[in-house]
Structure 1
Amino acid sequence: MSTSEQAYLQLLRDVLQNGVRKDDRTGTGTISTFGYQMRFPLSEGFPLLTTKRVPFKLVASELLWFIKGDTNIRNLLQHNNNIWNEWAFKRWVESEDYSGPDMTNFGLRSQTDTAFAKQYMEQMNLFKERILADSDFAAAYGELGDVYGKQWRDWKKAQGGSIDQLKDVISSIKNNPDSRRLIVTAWNPEDVPSMALPPCHTMFQFYVSEGKLSCQLYQRSGDIFLGIPFNIASYALLTHLIAHECGLGVGDFVHTLGDAHIYSNHMEQIEIQLSRDPKPLPKLLLNTDKQSVFDFEMEDLSLEAYDPHPTIKAPVAV
């Protein structure tokens, strides 16, 4: 049985049994624990959960969006990726330019008010259509601020200019693999106020040993049911891509969490997931004709033998 999936399922159990109840920014309420670590041996298979379907195309398109340094949801929507919509939509409905129905607390209200939920979906669909059709509107309201892609690829320097952290760390892995400074950080205190969502996965570090590349992520805040499965798969994919460019095998992905929490409206979903038996992990397939991380597109990435249990839907806390 995969130790990778068991590590995640044990996190669910530990927080359910030992977590503390806490209020949160979204008003939903959580059960939370502070300080938790999981290890995923990437040689076992690609760590995409099998106890529920996790959409690999959404994981991959978001990661490629980060890698390209993009911070606008338009590119994601062009790939039918909707995972950042709510944060851009929130900026739109709170702006002076918005004149539609009141969307205050749309995340919570849409869960309990059927009439409002219909109204919310109508406004969200109009918003998405306008982002795709109107480049000026997309530039103004599809933009999320200086989130991950900006920090990874274009970290601004106090004296002017910028640092391409991702490009630099790949160069260091190739030329100085024993360095203890193989780090990329997304947490930029100066830019946090301008971000639609401050980075949850804040810093990652690479480690080369015996011809294999490992990665450790520090994540300050993690939605265990919805977010963390994406984060595990995303950083596993990033490790595979960088290992490929650097001519290395893959080692472990180590996931270190700060505030790891289960939202109070995800309890029934987690009970369903924990009742299921894990299946074999899939295998990641890369187009080996592509050498650089920065050249990969969606058609260059695929999975083999992914046969998960069905999707379990749950609301996103915004």
Structure 2
Amino acid sequence: MRHPEYQYLDLLARVLDAGDERIDRTGVGTRSIFGAMVRFDLSDGTVPILTTKRVYWKTAVKEMLWFLTGGTNIQSLLRENVRIWTDWPLDAYRRETGEDIGQAEFERRVVADDEFARRWGELGPVYGKQWRRWLGPDGHEHDQIADLVRALRENPTSRRLLFHGWNVAELGAMALPPCHMVYQYHVTSDGRLNCLLFQRSVDLLLGAAFNFVGATALQLMLAQQAGLTPGELIWVGGDVHLYLNHLDQAREQLTRSPRPFPTMTLKRRGADIDDYRISDFEVTNYTPHPPISADVAV
């Protein structure tokens, strides 16, 4: 049987070989295709943590746990040593103040100074806000995650088992509109929980690996909370792209052969969906190739 990671590697090769090259929002430029799908079977305990480069899976899981808190400020992320969201508020700070501050100093200020963090560490109404506190026109806040858990338990055959983050009214206030924007779930008659994640835009070299891990972690938590077992993770990408300063790194990754996927397990059952911590996740038998570094386009 062909290793499932080849789905990702084939996608890398397709974008490299046949992607449409154009200037994008960031000014870096991309090579992109439109429309792609990969499928990973989680039922045997293995999970899609890529092996052709090291993926810092704890960072991805911490990010997902942060989304579930409803948080929108990078201070709590930085206190967990997660720096993947710093680029956007740092860029805003430099533009608005004219101060040529380094990332390390900016992060130090955000962590140490609550007032500074409130002003400059805020990302706007991004993922967590929409997932847990979507504001309706009547002023009522909707907790999409709590509603989903309830529906998985009480009405598992529903075709409305989903949540999303594309709140048109608040897009302009977000540091970055949601990329992974719709998560839909499906429960089989034998109790397997499947997930289809639609991602409108994906940085294939840097972002996709984290998105696979985050979605997997969420699927494991939801399955446990609803008394189900993990099934398939189906990832669908809209604009699937490589930044032009990532092409050499993609070519390097394509020279590597996949190794067996690791397993991910939850060491305890959370009292509810809000009761999980990074220490609850255990990954075993992860032996990847070395990491591949690349710059984030802001």
| Coarse TM-score class (shorter-chain normalised) | over 0.9
8 Å CA contact 2:40–2:47 kept in 1: the answer is no
> Which residue of 121, 128, 149 corresponds with 1:149?
128
CA distance in 1, matches of 2:123, 2:191: 38
Counterpart residue type for residue 213 of structure 1: L
Residues 162 and 170 (structure 1), Cα distance of their counterparts in 2 relative to 1, 3 Å cut: same
The SS at the match of 1:179 is coil
Whether 1:235 and 2:215 are equivalent positions in the alignment is yes
- Runs of 4+ that moved beyond 6 A: none
- Counterpart of 1:172 in structure 2 is 151
Counterpart residue type for residue 73 of structure 1: I
Query: Which is worse superposed, 11-20 or 135-144?
Result: 11-20
8 Å CA contact 1:49–1:229 kept in 2: the answer is yes
Shift of 1:14: 1.5
The SS at the match of 2:169 is coil
- Counterpart of 1:296 in structure 2 is 276
Shift of 1:316: 0.6
Shift of 1:267: 1.1
CA distance in 1, matches of 2:2, 2:287: 14
Whether 1:259 and 2:239 are equivalent positions in the alignment is yes
Residues 140 and 2 (structure 1), Cα distance of their counterparts in 2 relative to 1, 3 Å cut: farther
Shift of 1:99: 4.4
Whether 1:38 and 2:38 are equivalent positions in the alignment is yes
CA displacement 1:23-69 (0-9 Å, x = unmatched): 10111111100111111111251110000000011001100000111
Instruction: Return the TM-score normalized by structure 1.
Output: 0.91
Counterpart residue type for residue 217 of structure 2: L
**Any unmatched runs of 5+ in structure 2?**
none
- Counterpart of 1:26 in structure 2 is 26
- Counterpart of 1:100 in structure 2 is 99
Alpha carbon RMSD of aligned pairs, Å? 1.2
The SS at the match of 2:208 is helix
CA distance in 2, matches of 1:248, 1:4: 23
- Counterpart of 2:191 in structure 1 is 211
8 Å CA contact 1:2–1:281 kept in 2: the answer is no
Shift of 1:285: 2.0
- Counterpart of 2:60 in structure 1 is 59
CA distance in 2, matches of 1:71, 1:56: 21
8 Å CA contact 2:72–2:124 kept in 1: the answer is yes
8 Å CA contact 2:224–2:269 kept in 1: the answer is no
CA distance in 2, matches of 1:215, 1:190: 27
CA distance in 2, matches of 1:43, 1:8: 19
Query: Which is worse superposed, 213-222 or 282-291?
Result: 282-291
CA distance in 2, matches of 1:183, 1:232: 17
What is the 5 A alignment of 1:188-203?
188-203=167-182
8 Å CA contact 1:2–1:280 kept in 2: the answer is no
CA distance in 2, matches of 1:226, 1:24: 17
CA distance in 2, matches of 1:172, 1:298: 25
CA distance in 1, matches of 2:231, 2:167: 29
The SS at the match of 2:102 is helix
Whether 1:184 and 2:168 are equivalent positions in the alignment is no
CA displacement 1:106-126 (0-9 Å, x = unmatched): xxxxxxxxxxxxxxxx52111
- Counterpart of 2:116 in structure 1 is 137
Counterpart residue type for residue 74 of structure 1: Q
The SS at the match of 1:58 is helix
Instruction: Return the TM-score normalized by structure 2.
Output: 0.97
Count of aligned positions: 296
Counterpart residue type for residue 197 of structure 2: L
**Any unmatched runs of 5+ in structure 1?**
102-121
